[in-house]
Structure 1
Amino acid sequence: MPEIPKFLIQKINRMPAKPGIYQMKDREGNIMYIGKSKALKSRVKSYFSIQGKSEKIERMLFHIHDIDYIVTDTHLEAQILECTLIKKLKPIYNVQFKNDQNYRYLKVENYNKIKPVKVISDREDANCFGPYRNKKILSNLEKLFQNIYPILKHGDSYGFFYKILPEAMKKDAFEENKQCLMEILSKEECMLRFISEIEKKMKLAAAEFHFETALIYKDLLYHINYLYDVSIKKAEKLKWEKILMGEKIEDGYKLFYISSEIIVLKQKYKEIKREAIEEFIIRAKKLENNRIEIKNEKSNLDFQYILHAEMKDKSSKAILFLDKEYNLEELVNKLR
């Protein structure tokens, strides 16, 4: 562990126990790493503890000459600022967020007897799904699919079975298989039926002592659940919603107006009152109507990921869906 300069120890000790981001700098002033925390002081201190660190962290610590920080009102804002700066500056020791151009799409192909689904780099047409952050899972799924085609409709569910070698499909089977894939990848109820069918086949294979086949289905289940968790399950509810989120902070309250998974307006208040919230919503709706949407799906995906994850933590937040009928008193009471 390299010796920590005295001025750096003093600087760390002066850091507040508040949300924000920190920037590790080398001797030339280059930002090597950007991180975020709900409590800056304790997080930055943890890097210099005696406990074992990874080789990568040890290398970074050796080159740290200075640490800057920016305080934010909330952890959500710290995460968004961290993501924004990583994308802009691409620090050498950061991995997450800076390579969003590597995110991939799944495309359901027109007639292709062996590979009805393929992984592609950019959206091409309405038959593309994504983007997805984990291209390894997509590549594995593309291969796993090849051994269960064709997927055919059986009543309200889907029929398929595992084959050791891929099976070339005739035109009519291909078209039905394509329709099934489009349903599974775009509709929650269809994907859930498909997941249920995989689970049944996995359990049946295990019960009949076909353990290798059961493992294949288990692998397929894991990869399909990834698609469900990161696209349909998380995004479907919020994609078209208008949401008011309030959070109690150290010196008051913070309001966020979210529309189509984008923060349109945020405002800090010392006190939370119904009249102030109503005025905030009016301002937000005006901004929403005049907003020019930046269509960078891959970059936006990271910010959506942060927003979804943060909204699941309701310990200090109140969330109100602004549908035709909503009760502002409900939000006020939750925050107080």
Structure 2
Amino acid sequence: MHPLPPAHSSSRDSFPLWAKVMMWVVVGSLCVTASALIAVYRYKHHLSQTFDDRKTVISQALPDRDSGHDTETPDEISGMQTILLLGSDSRGNPDDARSDTMMVVRIPEKRDSAYVMSFLRDSWVDIPGYGYNKINAAFAYGGLPLAIETIEDHLSTRIDHVIMVDFEGFKHVTDALGGVQVHNEIEFSLTNGEGTTDFPVGDLDLNGDQALQFVRERYSFIDGDYQRARNQQLYLKSVLEKFLSAGTLTNPSKITGVVEGLSPYLSVDEGVTADYLVSLVWTLRSLSTDDIVFFTVPTLGTELTEDGVSIINLDYERLEELADSFHNDTLDEYVQTHDLSEY
């Protein structure tokens, strides 16, 4: 006959010590995890709020889709995306908008690559309702909607979103990243009230002010806008490499610095929100800068008009084929079968 347990004993007293320890370890881990999740949520919320509060939204930035303008049906975030990236010395204003930098960013549905094509600002194009002029004139005639419509007509594809960056934003992003490195192809020097800045051939470490000079300059080059477009592409690729590096993506303060430094200099259409950008970037998480192809719209070189204005003629034969690849989401095939360095 077994003796009865003492009257004061309980099942809790007989709970094994190791089980008690494990229970508190689990509870402690859950608390730490919950705290970490809350911290991450607050961080993401802060970044989203910073971006959405500081950017400028351009009302009616896109063409009126009910006006009969012929483009394909809008794509969801998981489909192909086409974004017009503009660089300007003034904030985006539909009534007084001009841009020295025009890049069409195409993200295919497969998300295994990305393409960035520069439109040279002196490109001689047919502007709907106004006839032939430099593509930059579309801004003066009809603001962003007409500029976008002009590009859409030449590429047979819909521009889903537009992002205009004040050149000052390039400077702040560069400094927030701790500088960027570019491989300069042509030596040049710039002189202003603060002295002379030299840009020798080779790898250059640029700070914000130097980066701003690098992407703006065109008069130092024989082929002007062509080399400026190449330099802008070099700079953008360097920024992406620095931003996508482990040293940046694992450093919350750097990411915060980039968002805080750039967002006040951004003007966007109403659809470009923090949620949109985060969702888009997430679909591109497996990309590296080697998967991003930079090139320029095909041209036939420069020419003087009867009025003595220097223009750049587009190569419409090659452009028609390129437009088909934009429309059919087959840019990967086009890139593989064409020498983009000839553009």
Q: Same fold (TM over 0.5)?
A: no
- For the pair shown, the structure with the greater C-alpha radius of gyration is 2
For the superposition of Structure 1 and Structure 2, which TM-score range results when normalised by the shorter chain? under 0.3
Higher helix share: 1
Structure with the larger RCO, 1 or 2 (CA within 8 Å, 6+ apart): 2
Calculate the TM-score normalised by the size of structure 1: 0.25
Calculate the TM-score normalised by the size of structure 2: 0.25
